[in-house]
Amino acid sequence: MSDTLLSLAGVHTLIGPYHILQGVDLVVPEGGVTVLLGRNGAGKTTTLRTIMGLWTANQGEIRFDDHLITQLDTPEISRRGVAYVPEDMGIFTDLTVAENMALAASGGPMDGKRLGWIKDLFPPIGTFWEASAGTLSGGQKQMLSVARAIIEPRRLILIDEPTKGLAPAIINAMTEALRELKQTDTTILLVEQNFAMASAIGDTVAVMDDGRIIHSGQMSELVEDESLQERLMGLSLEAHQ
């Protein structure tokens, strides 16, 4: 883990009259998990959506694998190997689990071996393969959302708060799954408010506030330095556990 896979330099994003991102500088190294932390409204979700092209950056540069992607549209960014798991999961509730997965395999038919690995990673995907995705529980929908993002090999996965609103048992399971995913070549940029989970799987960390990155470094440094946590987030590590 050394080369830079994704970088943002001076990125500004305006949504209507609101100036949300105010010069984001972020570096995501290739391999491992980079966690984006910050209080509500700091601009984490906007950062992911801007990277994915769902909102266009008004200023600044976004580079993926050394190519400028700032002005590319979302399908093109996806085709270059970036997957997105939105905060609301983005599940097609009118479709079955199988249909959701089939659509996610935009490059062609699903790879059986990879699908088997995913079903091992997320057992409910196999159990409810033919069920309507709308009938799944919140945790199962979140698993489907992540499973959909990895049905084809991706270089970068953007995951927005995968543990939000989930029961502790499901959070533990999701943490295990992401830890296993980390063992593959995939790089993960994870937005997470659950510091326990973030610190368990994160390698590097960036903290946002008011539309800017106010700290970036190794996750281990942040875990060990409680005063830094308090200064950056106004909350201690214990409060998150």
Residues 148-167 contacting other proteins, CB under 8 A: 148
Q: Is the CB of 41 or the CB of 107 nearer to other proteins?
A: 107
Among 25, 30, 61, 99, binds other proteins (CB under 8 A): 99
CB of 157 to other proteins, least distance (A): 11
Query: Which of the ranges 5-13, 171-179, 211-219, 225-233 carries the binding residues for other proteins, by CB under 8 A?
Result: 171-179
Q: How far is the CB of 43 from other proteins (least distance, A)?
A: 19
Sign of the torsion formed by the C-alpha atoms of 213, 48, 198 and 239: positive
> In the numeric block, which tokens belong to residue 118?
């995913």
- Residues 64-83 touching other proteins, rule: CB under 8 A, are 73-75, 78-79, 83
Contact 149, 159 (CB under 8 A): yes
Cα–Cα–Cα angle for 86, 55, 151, rounded to 5 degrees:
35
Restricting to residues 2-61, which ones interact with other proteins according to CB under 8 A?
Answer: 52, 54
State which of residues 10, 123, 165, 217 lies at the interface with other proteins (CB under 8 A): 123
Q: How far is the CB of 197 from other proteins (least distance, A)?
A: 14
Helix (H/G/I), strand (E/B), else coil: 132: strand
Q: Which two tokens stand for residue 185?
A: 């070549």
Long-range Cβ contact pairs of 194-200 (< 8 A, separation 24 or more): 194/163, 194/240, 195/37, 195/229, 195/233, 195/235, 195/237, 195/240, 195/241, 196/240, 196/241, 197/163, 197/171, 198/35, 198/37, 199/223, 199/237, 200/175
User: Which stretches of the chain bind other proteins, using CB under 8 A?
Assistant: 52, 54, 73-75, 78-79, 83-84, 86, 88, 90, 92-95, 99, 102-104, 106-107, 120-124, 127-128, 131, 134-137, 139-140, 148, 169-170, 172-174, 176-177, 180
